[in-house]
Structure 1
């Protein structure tokens, strides 16, 4: 049987090293160009991706690999475990010199994350979790908030999304903030710094797998907006929506949005 504790230690060491490399590029100034899908990429994205791939696949060459910055190799679908990586989540913030990015990696088994780490080197916040062992921020245990009410909650999301006229019910006043990194948003919900996050646009495995585990190990829920659990390492790595919060607030949010049918 694979040694999950060893895999978790390997993952965390690689993510820390990747974060140090990302921070070097961040402090030196960053130039970006557009990929075919019109999203930005930098030399730092590619350098961190290469580092993580070398560290993780050298340690476990029989594991699958899925990364935002690597062409997908569908042989991952036949492996027992998979590394899922976003070398720099929040590249737009990274390019603009904002400290709202993270190096992200998760280990998947049977469609679910069993190890995960999210490292924001600009703020020196290292979030991690191993299934069944709780969630940590800089080696200290963390937990989601106990808030139950939507009104007044500290929400991570796009303010214009909540103002959109298509909502069947107007949202109550909330303290709305955002972060470019979706993974970092999830980590901040896990730590209780924010009460919830909501995304109603397509996201990928590498954006959310590590955060999913960390939120759950911190006592919260991360699902799609209809309340369905998220499964990873499928042929299509995309997810239509993401909501994360403590149990009571997650239920309240689901009561507002669970019946909405999104296009696509």
Structure 2
């Protein structure tokens, strides 16, 4: 089957992310408020980046739909064959704390599948990119996911909740080391470059948090599914997945040990993984 060239879409995403970086970095102390219904913090930088991206990307691809964390959802996107899926600032809490661990996460989906993706961490000077069938890159160099299959030698990115015994068959938590990073997009990218071996979120997860990173990981040879092993799909009427299990070779090992029976915790619109410690 011939590989479709998505390089034009990727170039568009990269240029937009690079244009977003100085906007976000220019705010020293942005105004902050809480989203309705306990939706977590949002700041003026989130909205400024979102507005610029929507104008720029929409002008370049007027036929594409739009799904963004900071734009009110509209049903018109469901009719679009191709759609932008955007998180203007992934890791707003980290951004507000002055951390470097936040990202611009931009992706394009076609008929539910991500075809081009870009994750830029301006404060770390890291640019992750991928196109469907074209491989994954970090700052222009190819990257590959981990080949580790032994949990005892592996490190898993996730909140404390992911390591609760009730989520594992027989209550037996695998002997992985646990670490945490704020931005979900960056977690997936860290797996793609084999800095870590796996990632798990139990809570329902918004599409904009994982769209770009999921393609970067899979193009690096990894796997990303929901927590029950179903392949991820995008531009759904309710744009969430049932958690995320992702990794290199360890994905299959952990999936066999996860207990898929219990329902996950109730959705938390502010942050699918609020527990960092």
* TM-score, normalised with respect to structure 2: 0.89
CA 1:163–1:226 in 2, change beyond 3 Å: closer, same or farther? closer
Matches within 5 A, 1:141-152: 141-152=142-153
Matches within 5 A, 1:22-33: 22-25=24-27, 28-33=28-33
Q: After TM superposition, give the deviation of residue 172 of structure 1 in Å.
A: 3.6
CA 1:37–1:104 in 2, change beyond 3 Å: closer, same or farther? farther
Unpaired runs of at least 5, structure 2: 267-277
Q: After TM superposition, give the deviation of residue 174 of structure 1 in Å.
A: 2.5
Aligned to 1:44: 45
Contact 2:214 2:224 in 1 (8 A): yes
SS in 1 for 2:224: strand
- CA distance in 1 between counterparts of 2:30 and 2:159 reads 25
SS in 2 for 1:208: helix
* TM-score, normalised with respect to structure 1: 0.93
Count of aligned residue pairs for this structure pair:
260
Q: After TM superposition, give the deviation of residue 30 of structure 1 in Å.
A: 3.7
Question: Which of residues 188, 197, 200 in structure 2 aligns to 1:198?
Answer: 200
Larger deviation, residues 196-205 vs 150-159: 150-159
Aligned to 1:170: 172
Q: After TM superposition, give the deviation of residue 258 of structure 1 in Å.
A: 5.2
- CA distance in 2 between counterparts of 1:225 and 1:21 reads 35
SS in 1 for 2:85: strand
Q: After TM superposition, give the deviation of residue 91 of structure 1 in Å.
A: 0.6
- CA distance in 1 between counterparts of 2:64 and 2:174 reads 46
Matches within 5 A, 1:53-202: 53-164=54-165, 167=168, 168-202=170-204
Contact 2:192 2:216 in 1 (8 A): yes
- CA distance in 1 between counterparts of 2:260 and 2:242 reads 14
Aligned to 1:232: 234
Q: After TM superposition, give the deviation of residue 142 of structure 1 in Å.
A: 0.4
